Structure 1
Amino acid sequence: MQRAVGVGRLSVKQLDGRTRINRLYQEGCARIRIPKTYHGTALEAVIINTSGGVTGGDRMSWSFEAGQNTHLMVTTQASEKIYKSSGGVAANTVALKADQGARLAWLPQESIVFDRAGFSRTITADLAEGAEALFLEPIVLGRRSMGERVESADLRDRWRISQCGQLIHAEDFWLNGEITSILSQKAVTGGQTAFATLLFVSPRADGFLNEARQLIGPNGGVSCWNGKLLARVMAEDSFQLRKILLPLVTLMNFEADLPKVWSI
């Protein structure tokens, strides 16, 4: 069967006090658009999968580099749909780099998972000394308003974040098999089907801890140590999840507005 393959790469540089495109490459079903937005010195990049979603065997590869003293914010045009697989898994690799003094925000919209989907994502980031970064990955298991339920799936999410050549954050998430019974456990999500991980790397991270805890409340948890703030958020559906994520991201998004496409 024909499979979708896409490759997108973008690097930015500072020019006249603003962040500008340095190199842009796109191949297959991957597209990167730079809308005219007003985020101070930030450049907003919107990634698009023109195949309209992913399924088993599809391959997407993204790479973004924020040059010295630049401000790059990357998001998706819409929620990525991960459809039922007829065999194999869809693979999505994301490589991020932030040079000295750069600010980098990886802020995709929700990944919506359908029943019997197979999906594997790997996120790697290399941060230089003095670089700050914000990472977000929200996942929604079925659309509640459409009556969708995810009974089984194979989901894998792997993060490796380094700074100055040292590994500062690593995690591997794997959800496989009878998802409904797994999520029903209190130590997992207590039956909640929408959840997100947010990671903020900055020497200023401590200053956001108390307010982040207030915003999340009983819907997850947040901790902070060694210049790294890590939050887990859970909700019953994507709407409730966004109600928490919007102010949480706004709090730590380097004084920039939310991505324009988030409000569409």
Structure 2
Amino acid sequence: MKFAEAEIVNGPILQRARGIGRITAKQVDERTRLDTLFQEGCGKIRLPNTHSSSLEAVLINTAGGITGGDHLLWGAELAPDGHMVLTTQACERSYRSTGDFGRVETRLKVGAGGHLDWLPQETILFAASKLDRRLEVDLDEGATLTAIEAVLLGRDAMGEDAADALLRDNWRIRRNGQLVHAEATQLHATAEERQSLSLLNGNRAFASVLHIAATPDRASAIGDRVRAMLPADQAIAVSVNQSRLVIRAMAPTGLALRRMIVPVLLELTAAGSLPRLWHL
């Protein structure tokens, strides 16, 4: 028997998850409704029934988590004057990797005068996990955004701290093609990073919340309301720069973090409420 020439690979060839989910919305009688939906692989999107004029979409990774070499791509586009809420079915999980980073990319576009709430639930990093996460948002004139990304270092109930987990998290937000917000967060799995007073200070849960308002005056007014509700004895703070409002929060547990950030999100979302899946 004659075989074709081929490279011999030592060791197992591991199966990797691939998923794509994209959604676009249109305005119908002043209500935001589904226009197109595409899903492939482990990326699924479900549209729960709500009584709101906005469109709510739930992103689901049917692979059950992310590990090295996995790749998820989410996308959404909102018509002018529309309102969309994007959330996840549950906490995303980044599992142990034997090599590469797992990748999650999200690309969002908001038409003029529209508002998008990007409200995924927390991401749990497990021991030896490697996650590369990217968020890109394009806003048209007068469009607004509320976005959160929260991270838990291990599971509270199991006493995990995911001390060797690695994270790369990059945000790029543009309005009319001009960059208005950029940030890059990295976890390198060092003791100094986890314990330093200027970094995590021993906390195992942290979150970044971003709100892009229509005008600087609007951002300033919202910032004043948010500052008034923040507890003075907890690690949470807000800053306002032009039309941007940024909140950073840290807590020893995921539950404590959620209790801190839920009132802030209620103030910043267009609907003044959170998706049903957020309720414990």
Which range, TM-score by smaller chain? over 0.9
Given candidates 170, 192, 196, the residue that maps to 1:185 is 196
Amino acid in the other structure paired with 1:36: N
Q: CA deviation at 1:206?
A: 1.4
Q: CA deviation at 1:181?
A: 3.4
Paired residue for 2:107? 95
Measure the CA separation in 2 of the matches of 1:181 and 1:224: 29
CA contact 2:205–2:252 (8 Å) conserved in 1: yes
Measure the CA separation in 1 of the matches of 2:68 and 2:127: 12
Q: Which has the larger radius of gyration?
A: 2
Question: Any stretches of 5+ residues in structure 2 without a counterpart?
Answer: 1-13
Residue 247 of structure 1 pairs with residue 259 of structure 2: no
Measure the CA separation in 2 of the matches of 1:126 and 1:60: 19
Name which of structure 1's ranges 212-221 and 141-150 shifts more when overlaid on structure 2: 212-221
Q: CA RMSD in A?
A: 1.1
**Moved >2 Å (runs of 4+):** 213-218
Question: Any stretches of 5+ residues in structure 1 without a counterpart?
Answer: none
**TM-score, normalising length: structure 2:** 0.91
Measure the CA separation in 2 of the matches of 1:208 and 1:190: 28
Identity of aligned residues (%): 39
**TM-score, normalising length: structure 1:** 0.96
The C-alpha deviation readout for 1:29-57, integer Å capped at 9, x for no partner, is 0000000012x321110000001000101
Measure the CA separation in 1 of the matches of 2:77 and 2:148: 17
Q: Number of paired residues?
A: 262
Given candidates 197, 204, 217, the residue that maps to 2:208 is 197
Amino acid in the other structure paired with 2:256: Q
Measure the CA separation in 2 of the matches of 1:253 and 1:191: 30
Give 1 or 2: higher strand fraction: 1
Equivalent residues in 2 for 1:18-37, closer than 5 Å = 18-37=31-50
Paired residue for 1:44? 56
Given candidates 219, 244, 252, the residue that maps to 1:236 is 252
Amino acid in the other structure paired with 2:38: Y
CA contact 1:37–1:260 (8 Å) conserved in 2: no
Q: CA deviation at 1:81?
A: 0.7
Q: CA deviation at 1:20?
A: 0.4
Paired residue for 1:5? 18
